[in-house]
Amino acid sequence: MAKNNKKILVVEDEATLQKALNDVLVGEGFDVVSALDGEKGFQLAKEEKPDIILLDIILPKMDGFEVLTNLKATEETKEIPVIILTNLSDLENIQKALDLGANTYLVKADFHLDDVLKKVKATLKM
């Protein structure tokens, strides 16, 4: 499929999920960079300046909330839309993520890959 000039940063520590997201997004023409922990994720966000970030919450080294806070506090990354992809479904976590500036909060187990793709495209207004 032809490339679509959009870059996505995936911050996810589960190998299977990372692989699946990568295959689907690359198949749709996106350029994908991935990180397996929060620290690397934040670093890559600053270096690569992706068009959108898919961010897990439970991560080694720096959790998703901390990454999100740092992203929004940094000039180069604060405008990048963030979609939280996690399996935590408590109201408090959802509210916390939205309050910290996440665009959308998706509970992974409740969605198929197709739905995640649709959300990504909708957020990027594609």
Partner 1 sequence: MIGGFKNTFGFQNCKEYNLGLWQCPTFLFVVMGIVNMCAMVGVYILVSNNYNSPEIMVGSVSGVSMLIFILGSSVITGVEQIAKANYAKSEFVSIASHQLKAPLSGMRWATDVLLSKKVGEITGKQEEYLKDIQENTSRMIRLVNDLLDVSRIDSGRMNMKTEQVSLCEIIEGVIRELGSFALANNVQIIFKPMSKACLINTNPVRIKMVIQNFIDNAIKYTGNKRGVVEIILRNEGKQIYCAVKDNGIGIPAEERKHIFDKFFRGSGIAKTQTIGTGLGLYIAKAAIESSGGKIGFDTKDGKGTTFWFTYPVCAKCEDIKNSIK
Query: In the range 85-114, which residues lie near partner 1 by CB under 8 A?
Result: 87-91, 107-110, 112-114
| Residue whose CB is less far from partner 1, 23 or 76 | 23
Cα–Cα distance between 47 and 28 in angstroms, integer? Answer: 23
Strand ranges across the sheet with 104-107: 31-35, 7-11, 52-55, 82-86, 104-107
Whether residue 100 contacts residue 65, with contact meaning beta carbons closer than 8 Å, is answered with yes
**Least distance (Å) from partner 1 to the CB of residue 97?**
15
| Residue whose CB is less far from partner 1, 80 or 94 | 94
Query: In the range 7-46, which residues lie near partner 1 by CB under 8 A?
Result: 14, 16-17, 19-21, 23-24, 27
Please give the size of the binding site for partner 1, defined by CB under 8 A: 21
Q: Which residues contact 112 (CB under 8 A, 6 or more apart)?
A: none
**Least distance (Å) from partner 1 to the CB of residue 78?**
28
Quick one: tokens of 81? Answer: 């839309």
| Residue whose CB is less far from partner 1, 21 or 71 | 21
- Helices 38-48, 64-73: axis angle to 10 degrees equals 30
Q: Which residues bind partner 1 (CB under 8 A)?
A: 14, 16-17, 19-21, 23-24, 27, 87-91, 107-110, 112-114
